[in-house]
Amino acid sequence: MRFAIIALASVALFFPTFWLFQGVIGPIWGGCIAAVGMYIAFPAVALRAWPTKVRTRSSPVTDALASGNYFPFEKLRLPAGESVLWKASNPTFHRSFDYGMVLTDRALYMYSPFWISLARWRRIPLEQIRSIVFRNSRIAPCLRVRTAKRVQVLRTPYDYADEMDYDRKNLRDAVSQVSAALASAQPSSS
């Protein structure tokens, strides 16, 4: 509404400005000055003089990203007493699904929605992790977590090159974060 009123007022002020300058410097220059006033000067002055309302409400998307409560993290339910040390995903607008990784003080959680209806968070306790390795691939880079019983794999989806580079960075960060958590959980030998 503010912009519409300013636009109408600028058009209305064109005519008095033109009539004022027409008698002093002629109709051509008077029209030029009035046009500059209508398109630039009057709106600039009016926008500075008419303050905007400060929005107190943010968007749900901004709130979710700030709180970390966005897909797939809103599906994760941590047991009581576990605290999040690190988490990563790649929330892009063009993917219909996304992977997620969460490291807590007790476990590593991986979410890989290959079939979205069957997708769930996998919990791997830190004491069961024998090794964690990042395997690079042009098509499907992955994180391989070897436990006492099996190897669990988290693959990232094929995407644009820059998105896959971001996924690779997340997987490398996961290896370093989990390795550091495993090293700090090992009893020191003295």
Domains within the chain, CATH numbers bracketed: 2-49 (no CATH), 60-185 (2.30.29)
Q: Is the pLDDT of residue 61 over 80?
A: no
CB count within 10 Å of CB 126 equals 16
Torsion of CA 160, 165, 169, 172, to 10 degrees: 100
Amino acid 68: pLDDT: 61
Q: For all residues of the chain together, what is the average pLDDT?
A: 83
**pLDDT tens column, 168-190:** 999 999 999 999 999 987 765 55
- Span 132-136, mean pLDDT? 95
> pLDDT, tens digit, for every residue of 21-60?
888 898 899 889 889 988 889 888 888 888 776 655 655 5
Judged by average pLDDT, the poorest of 101-110, 137-146, 158-167 is 158-167
